[in-house]
Chain A
């Protein structure tokens, strides 16, 4: 067992981990931050996306030990300081960007990473960026719409498919 320390959602966090402990396991089992979901555990579905030092990664495919010293953000750290939903979360609610909701934490984290680098993406750019986030309800249309709305763009013209 080795000691790891990191900043998670702005707070210091540390714990003992095995070499094989995944970042997703550390977040969920050790820190009890169960908002990060593990859907496939094979790095395909993207439900476990978190930000490590500002970039989106699949936390089920990164060792906790690799995040030692890193600044980690999860879905639990996305709300505004007063507890209200942030712009992306609010847009998901407004546009019903979810059905069962299982993939939503990863979708929101991927959307946040996209909008940080590309504040006004085209619809195609949003769809391309979500290539590694799978919604098995196939609710993509409203997810894309929510992200477009969160970027401040008019979504009236996005037709249902």
Chain B
């Protein structure tokens, strides 16, 4: 690791001020960023820890019934306290391993937008709102490709708001070495339709499967997906699975999610 200065502000305003510095970078739980720094794939001059900001911690209920999660809330806390949205709590309970869940944060995961991470599927599948220090961003506008988001330089996720669906489920086909999703499918049924978000598969990062959403909105059952398939042409292909294999898994895991919802 190259060396850097470390700062731990106690308010969002102080964090934003600290991030104005040249080559300053925000640090959530560090479960991705610290390994990245060890590999010298990033070399910030200053790391600004968001863990000391009390207003970015915890789970609460919004006035509109949504579940609101502070950007610096770790996965274990979401698993324990987001019971009002059981599928979300269950998703958080299966990210990484227990020690990783005790450090990693929802804001860090969404800001990184790893193409195989779980939270992007939950946020896009739920039509969540990403709240930053500056604005609110709809999940449909937020994810812009592998490791790419709508966040500007120095902008941080302060909160994520999840509308609670009638039913939902996340099915992850685990890549056993990394425990990331080889393919993960998040299905959520709302009064105005069904959303299906898929992580781990596409070269463009998390995406919605419109055809499956239409079929499930008309008939919320696994059989409604019979005959539907995705092309593997633009899917991630690596030693763990070909694009074609991942495309097949997308359909299988979507059916499992519907059956389990």
* Interface presence of A110 (CB below 8 A): yes
* Interface presence of A124 (CB below 8 A): no
Asked whether B3 lies within 8 Å of A20 as measured between CB atoms, the reply is: yes
State which of A22, A49, A68 has its C-beta within 8 Å of the C-beta of B99.
Answer: A49
Given A46-B97, A131-B97, A132-B97: A57 and B102 interface contact (C-beta under 8 Å): yes
Q: Give Cα A55 to B98, complex, Å.
A: 10
Asked whether A56 lies within 8 Å of B2 as measured between CB atoms, the reply is: no
Asked whether B38 lies within 8 Å of A41 as measured between CB atoms, the reply is: yes
* Interface presence of B30 (CB below 8 A): yes
* Interface presence of A19 (CB below 8 A): yes
* Interface presence of B51 (CB below 8 A): yes
* Interface presence of B147 (CB below 8 A): no
Interface residues of A in 40-72 (CB under 8 A from B): 41-43, 46, 49, 55-58, 61-63, 65-66, 68
How many A-B pairs fall under 8 Å by CB?
A: 72
Asked whether A110 lies within 8 Å of B99 as measured between CB atoms, the reply is: yes
State which of B31, B49, B76 has its C-beta within 8 Å of the C-beta of A66.
Answer: B49
Interface centre among A57, A61, A133 (most CB of B within 10 A): A61
Q: Give Cα A77 to B102, complex, Å.
A: 21
The chain B residue with its CB closest to the CB of A129 is: B98
Q: Give Cα A124 to B38, complex, Å.
A: 34
Q: Give Cα A148 to B99, complex, Å.
A: 20
* Interface presence of B248 (CB below 8 A): no
Q: Which residues of B contact A65 (CB under 8 A)?
A: 6, 8, 49
* Interface presence of A2 (CB below 8 A): yes
Given A62-B103, A132-B96: A42 and B38 interface contact (C-beta under 8 Å): yes
* Interface presence of B83 (CB below 8 A): no
Q: Which residues of A contact B179 (CB under 8 A)?
A: 131
* Interface presence of B54 (CB below 8 A): no
Shortest beta-carbon distance, B79 to chain A, in Å?
12
Q: Which residues of B contact A129 (CB under 8 A)?
A: 98
Asked whether A43 lies within 8 Å of B4 as measured between CB atoms, the reply is: no
Shortest beta-carbon distance, A146 to chain B, in Å?
18
Given A2-B6, A20-B37, A66-B51: A61 and B98 interface contact (C-beta under 8 Å): no
Q: Give Cα A110 to B102, complex, Å.
A: 12
Give a binary string over A1-43; 1 marks a CB under 8 Å from any B CB, 0 the rest.
0100000000000000011101000000000000000000111
Closest 6 CB pairs of A and B: A132-B97, A19-B6, A131-B97, A65-B6, A20-B1, A19-B4
